[in-house]
Amino acid sequence: MPTIETIIAVAAAGIALSLSPGPSMLYVLSRSVGQSRAAGLASALGLGLGGILLALVAAFGLATIYEQSQLIYRAVTILGALYILYLGITMIYNAEQSAQETMIVNAVEQEPLYKIVYQGVLVEALNPKTVLFFMAFIPPFVDVSRSTVTLQLLILGILVPLTALPSDLVIAFAGGSIANLANGNPKGKRALTWVGGLVLMGLGLRLFFV
């Protein structure tokens, strides 16, 4: 079982990442505004389920690797910490560009809700960047000196999509209003991006020197 401190750190990192609009948020926005609020909720549910599926795969796969070699675990942990630091630096570096970008709702084909959930699962689970994120993001937070490595990986992995779910649900419920508010407030978008980037940089540095 992860410590409370670790759970808080992973939750903070997940929330920090969700502060900056990304493909998942735009996917939910397009469904919500382009079809219906229910479709937006269905897409958010699908993305969450896809994230949980990746968490399951990552947990059992990484646990097997860690059992084979302590050196591999240490290498993956260092690379993961550097990756988190890189994400934070990238967010801040692109803060100005992100602040000026307009959240555009793409036209979507009307689909039944069950199909939208299924598509959301595929969008999240088959995205190479998301897979890389899970494989690199979770290891630095795992304490292999404890006997519950698989359980730690599983809980922390599932925590990541759960922290993204609230923002996706807000977008699903009030997609058009949120988009107009964000598009009309570049300073607010820039500030959120900076906050998210600084949180990730702080976590990355802390993990790297542990």
In tens digits, the chain (210 residues) has pLDDT values of 778 888 888 888 777 777 666 667 777 877 777 777 788 888 889 888 988 888 888 777 777 777 676 777 777 778 777 887 887 788 777 766 665 555 555 556 778 888 889 888 887 877 766 777 777 778 778 877 766 778 888 888 888 888 888 878 877 777 656 555 555 566 766 776 777 778 778 877 777 666
Per the structure, the complete domain to which residue 38 belongs is given by 4-13+21-208
Burial of 111 (0-12, 13-18, 19+ CB in 10 A): middle
**In which element (H, E) is residue 75 found?**
helix 70-93
Q: Give the Cα separation of 73 and 65 in Å (integer).
A: 7
> What does the alpha-carbon distance between residue 62 and residue 41 come to, in Å, rounded to a whole number?
31
Tell how many helices (H) and how many strands (E) occur in the chain.
9, 0
What is the number of structural domains in the chain? 1
- CA distance to 21, 24, 40, 90, per residue, from 174 (Å): 15, 16, 10, 28
This prediction's pTM: 0.72
Task: Give the whole-angstrom CA distance, residue 107 versus residue 30.
Answer: 7
SS3 call for 109: coil
Residue 16: predicted pLDDT: 76
Structure tokens at 207: 């993990």
